[in-house]
């Protein structure tokens, strides 16, 4: 529905949000109240119904009447908001006026708009609606500069996206044309349980069981039931079985989460130089990244995923915002964990390069970097061991047994992770890209356009100075804002920084005297 523009107001036609917003508010409010009514009834009655006859009927009548009143109030409030909200797409600005008590007037310059993202949860999809987030990717007062239209019809959302992201078409290269660059293979779901999400979801499931049982006043019965199942079992075996059950629940949860996030995933390049990611099983999402805002890519390899030969692909770009209202809206992800060869090929397509820079040979770091990682890893493992040992000597020998088991597991793991972290270190210049790699639990290889580097930060602690290494950090307006080369040789690292971005560091460099060789 549209409304005439205010008097003396030049520009396009003013429009309202879709009237189905009233249905959305009513349905959401009803579902929330439905979830609250049963716990309230059980909580008031101490876990039992209100008895037979009038008492039970009165309670149900009051609850239903109260719920109906709240739904009507919510729908009426949404109606007032709907009547007071309007937007328009002018030749130079996008404007949004909203508010009932406090009227807000916001606008974005069209030339600064970098993203138009569409999201539709299951309810919106049923009603053929979408939520549209128009953003510049800038930060203003600690908050991203965005306008949110929630909801509009799907056709209106696609129209807004096409109009606001319209760009002059770029000439196509022979090997990198527009169209689908990558699409999800359902077999990639096998990588979902290999991340740290699975154990986290398992712990969350166990906590949820205890919390819900506490709400219904049966937590003691649940604990007793579990204790009865392991009546003739040792404590260690009981803990192992419960941990395994939680892990299985986490694996199932991770599979469901992967399906929700990445089902129907497709990465496309549209005419005009826009990368578009579409994904989602229940909640459909559409995320846009302009290629002219792209400054590189990042290959992310969590430990479990890396051991399976897979990697995830993220965009390093300016103007990528954050949707605080959607926990699954990781807007920078271009490709979910996939076989490494597929990820590398997709990265080359995204960057319009014959071979991805992330596969370039890297300069290894000196042995001093390995020593530093071993030292810190062993120190991190020995501190808890020392605490357990001291407490065991002072309190109970049981802690000494736990300390011995901890040492047998933690010390080899610390050495393994330290050596793996050292092997991961590397940096290089590959064509027009600066490449750096680091990490073990989360290994990341970043290919950053050399022209996107706006500064260098050079750090060298007392211990690094003695070891002859330093840390170089390339600052940029894209992605995380800074990407580091850890513990590089101090001389080679400075030469690398000077050559990677010619002229940026040269005024601060001077020839270093020859090092004395001591026996």
Least confident of 131-145, 233-247, 406-420: 131-145
Contact between residue 295 and residue 316 where contact means Cβ atoms under 8 Å apart: yes
Q: Which of 435, 438, 475, 485 is nearest to 455 (CA)?
A: 475
pLDDT, position 50: 46
Contact between residue 154 and residue 197 where contact means Cβ atoms under 8 Å apart: no
Contact between residue 44 and residue 62 where contact means Cβ atoms under 8 Å apart: no
Query: Which residue has better confidence, 209 or 244?
Result: 244
Residue given tokens 């991805």 in the structure block = 356
Question: What is the percent of the chain with per-residue pLDDT over 90, rounded to a whole number?
Answer: 58
Residue 49 has pLDDT above 50, yes or no: no
Least confident of 45-59, 235-249, 469-483, 491-505: 45-59
Task: Tell me how far apart the alpha carbons of residues 194 and 306 are, in angstroms, rounded to a whole number.
Answer: 9
Work out the number of other CB atoms within 10 angstroms of the CB of residue 57.
11
Residue given tokens 């430990």 in the structure block = 303
Least confident of 54-58, 119-123, 316-320: 54-58
Task: Tell me how far apart the alpha carbons of residues 323 and 117 are, in angstroms, rounded to a whole number.
Answer: 10
Question: Is the pTM of the predicted complex or chain greater than 0.85?
Answer: no
Contact between residue 256 and residue 197 where contact means Cβ atoms under 8 Å apart: no
Task: Tell me how far apart the alpha carbons of residues 420 and 486 are, in angstroms, rounded to a whole number.
Answer: 14
Contact between residue 426 and residue 447 where contact means Cβ atoms under 8 Å apart: no
| Residue 385 CA: distances (Å) to CA of 211, 233, 298, 375, 410 | 33, 28, 36, 15, 9
- What confidence tier does 33 reach under pLDDT thresholds 50, 70, 90? confident
Q: Is the Cα torsion angle 211, 122, 260, 74 positive or negative in sign?
A: negative
Instruction: At 264, list the tokens.
Output: 């129907």
Q: What is the phi/psi pair of residue 358, to 5°? A: -70, -15
Mean pLDDT, the chain, whole residue set:
86
Q: Distance between alpha carbon 415 and the CA centroid of its chain, in Å?
A: 30
The whole-number average pLDDT for the span 317-321 is: 77
Task: Tell me how far apart the alpha carbons of residues 10 and 91 are, in angstroms, rounded to a whole number.
Answer: 10
Least confident of 10-19, 336-345, 422-431: 10-19
Tell me the sheet residues that pair with 117.
Answer: 133
Q: Which of 90, 75, 78, 80 is nearest to 147 (CA)?
A: 90
Contact between residue 491 and residue 512 where contact means Cβ atoms under 8 Å apart: yes
Residue 8 has pLDDT above 70, yes or no: no
Task: Tell me how far apart the alpha carbons of residues 348 and 338 are, in angstroms, rounded to a whole number.
Answer: 15
Task: Tell me how far apart the alpha carbons of residues 519 and 516 are, in angstroms, rounded to a whole number.
Answer: 10
Task: Tell me how far apart the alpha carbons of residues 320 and 296 are, in angstroms, rounded to a whole number.
Answer: 13
Task: Tell me how far apart the alpha carbons of residues 174 and 179 are, in angstroms, rounded to a whole number.
Answer: 13
Give whichever of 72-76, 103-107, 287-291 has the largest mean pLDDT.
72-76
pLDDT, position 1: 46
Q: Is the Cα torsion angle 349, 166, 323, 74 positive or negative in sign?
A: negative
Contact between residue 280 and residue 263 where contact means Cβ atoms under 8 Å apart: yes
Tell me: the pLDDT tens digits for 97-115? Answer: 998 888 889 999 988 888 8
Instruction: At 127, list the tokens.
Output: 């009603």
Residue 12 has pLDDT above 80, yes or no: no
The whole-number average pLDDT for the span 471-498 is: 94
Residue 5 has pLDDT above 50, yes or no: no
DSSP-derived secondary structure letter, 509: -
**DSSP letters of 401-419?**
HHHHHHHHHHHHHHHHHHH
Q: Is the Cα torsion angle 225, 229, 235, 240 positive or negative in sign?
A: negative
Instruction: At 408, list the tokens.
Output: 């047998």
DSSP-derived secondary structure letter, 212: H
The whole-number average pLDDT for the span 171-185 is: 75
Contact between residue 38 and residue 47 where contact means Cβ atoms under 8 Å apart: no
Alpha-helix residue ranges (DSSP H) falling in 85-165 = 122-126, 154-164
**DSSP letters of 335-397?**
EEEEEHHHHHHHHHHHHT-SS-GGGS--BPPPHHHHHHHHHHHHHHHHHHHHHHHHHHHHT-H
**DSSP letters of 222-249?**
HHHHHHHHTTTS-HHHHHHHHHHHHHHH
Q: Measured between alpha carbons, how far apart are the two ends of the chain, in Å? A: 85
Contact between residue 115 and residue 134 where contact means Cβ atoms under 8 Å apart: yes
In the three-class reduction of DSSP (H, G, I as helix; E, B as strand; rest coil), residue 106 is classed as strand
Task: Tell me how far apart the alpha carbons of residues 434 and 447 are, in angstroms, rounded to a whole number.
Answer: 6
Torsion angle of C-alpha atoms 56, 58, 63, 66, degrees rounded to 10: 180
Q: What is the phi/psi pair of residue 329, to 5°? A: -90, 70
């Amino acid at each position: 529905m549209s409304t005439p523009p205010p008097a003396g107001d030049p520009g396009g036609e003013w429009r309202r949000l879709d009237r189905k917003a009233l249905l959305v508010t009513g349905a959401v409010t009803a579902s929330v109240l439905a979830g609250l009514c049963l716990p309230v009834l059980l909580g008031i009655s101490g876990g039992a119904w209100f008895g037979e006859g009038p008492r039970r009927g009165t309670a149900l009548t009051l609850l239903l009447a109260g719920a109906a009143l709240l739904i009507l109030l919510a729908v009426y409030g949404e109606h007032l908001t709907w009547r007071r909200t309007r937007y328009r797409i002018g030749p130079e600005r996008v404007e949004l006026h909203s508010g009932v008590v406090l009227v807000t007037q916001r606008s974005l310059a069209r030339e600064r708009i970098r993203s138009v993202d569409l999201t539709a949860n299951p309810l919106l999809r049923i009603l053929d609606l979408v939520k549209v987030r128009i953003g510049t990717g800038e930060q203003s007062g600690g908050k991203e500069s965005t306008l949110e239209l929630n909801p509009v019809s799907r056709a209106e959302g696609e129209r807004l996206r096409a109009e606001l992201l319209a760009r002059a078409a770029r000439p196509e290269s022979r090997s990198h044309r527009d169209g689908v660059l990558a699409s999800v293979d359902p077999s990639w779901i096998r990588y979902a349980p290999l991340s740290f999400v699975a154990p986290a979801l398992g712990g969350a499931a166990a906590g949820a069981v205890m919390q819900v049982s506490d709400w219904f006043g049966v937590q003691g019965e649940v604990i007793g039931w579990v204790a009865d199942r392991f009546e003739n079992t040792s404590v260690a075996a009981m803990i192992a079985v419960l941990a395994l059950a939680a892990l299985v629940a986490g694996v199932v949860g991770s599979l469901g989460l992967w399906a929700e996030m990445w089902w129907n995933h497709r990465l496309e390049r549209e005419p005009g130089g826009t990368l578009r990611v579409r994904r989602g099983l229940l909640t459909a999402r559409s995320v846009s990244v302009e290629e002219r805002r792209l400054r590189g890519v990042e290959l992310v390899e969590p430990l479990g995923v890396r051991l399976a030969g897979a990697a995830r692909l993220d965009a390093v770009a300016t103007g990528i915002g954050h949707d605080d209202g959607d926990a699954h809206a990781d807007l920078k992800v271009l490709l979910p964990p996939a076989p490494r060869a597929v990820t590398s090929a997709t990265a080359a397509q995204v960057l319009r390069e014959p071979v991805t820079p992330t596969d370039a040979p890297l300069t290894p770091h000196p042995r001093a970097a390995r020593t530093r990682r071993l030292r810190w890893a062993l120190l991190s493992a020995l501190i808890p061991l020392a605490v357990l040992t001291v407490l065991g000597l002072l309190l109970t020998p049981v802690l000494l047994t736990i300390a011995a088991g901890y040492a047998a597991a933690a010390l080899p793991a610390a050495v393994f992770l330290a050596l793996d972290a050292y092997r991961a270190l590397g940096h290089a210049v590959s064509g027009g890209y600066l490449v750096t790699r680091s990490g073990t639990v989360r290994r990341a290889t970043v290919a950053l356009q050399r022209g996107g580097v706006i500064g260098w930060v050079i750090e060298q602690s007392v211990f690094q100075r003695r070891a002859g290494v330093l840390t170089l950090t390339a600052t940029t307006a894209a992605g995380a804002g800074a990407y580091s080369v850890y513990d590089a040789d101090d001389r080679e690292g400075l030469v690398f920084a000077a050559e990677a971005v010619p002229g940026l560091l040269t005024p601060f460099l001077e020839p270093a005297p020859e090092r004395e060789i001591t026996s």
